[in-house]
Amino acid sequence: MSNLYHLTALMIFAAAFFGMTAPVKKPISQVSDASVVIPVHSIEETAEHIPWHHERLLTWEDFQGPAKQHTDAVASTSTSLGISYQIVNGELTYQITCHFSKPKSWGSLKTDYILAHEQAHFDITEIYARKLHEALSTYNLDRNNYQKDIGKIYNEIVEGKEAMQHAYDGESDHSRKRTQQMEWLEKINQLLEETEPYAAYP
């Protein structure tokens, strides 16, 4: 107990998405959720992570992981959505992270078209980071159940994110269906505009 404020234990959640693009042969994708420790939120780019920013689009130089062998996939994007939170002076404070992982992302066929598909996977994660901020900013703190409540909110957001990532890959056939791919890019851009009020998450 500090003489300045009471601080609860810091709680951290994170979920990762690994999406692969396979414009030839059969599509391949892999998705996993993992609990990892997320550092204090920063909008600064590091050697391993790129925080989402509308002016910082991905380039192929960002895909620094080794290309997978014996697969039809030609690119893979790894993004993560994380949150850490605590109660200070009876108030909920939280930090949200939306990152692209350089060492876990890779590309073997590096075209602008495929890069646009991969950027959209990152954009989807950003959309759900904003949705998480919206949900937490309107949450009425229950001191007896807030850990359970926040865990439920986070899990529901992650489920929505994963469902959209899979729908995007499925309907565009991992970018091979060009008409559906373009429709999805328009949809994602529209969702980014709609969630703009929650873009300035902590």
Place of tokens 């080794």: 66
Domain assignments of the chain as residue spans, ordered by start: 11-198
Tokens of 157: 């957001």
**Rounded Cα gap, residues 67 and 26, in angstroms:** 17
CA distance 149 to 169: 31
pTM of this prediction exceeds 0.75: yes
Tens digits of pLDDT across the chain (202 residues):
333 323 333 455 555 555 555 443 323 223 333 333 333 345 689 999 999 999 999 999 999 999 988 888 899 999 999 999 999 888 999 999 999 999 999 999 999 999 999 999 999 999 999 999 999 999 999 999 999 999 999 999 999 999 999 999 999 999 999 999 999 999 999 999 999 999 999 9
User: Would you mind telling me the total number of residues written for the chain in this entry?
Assistant: 202
Q: What is the C-alpha separation between 80 and 14, in angstroms, rounded?
A: 7
Bridge partners (DSSP) of residue 18 are: 78
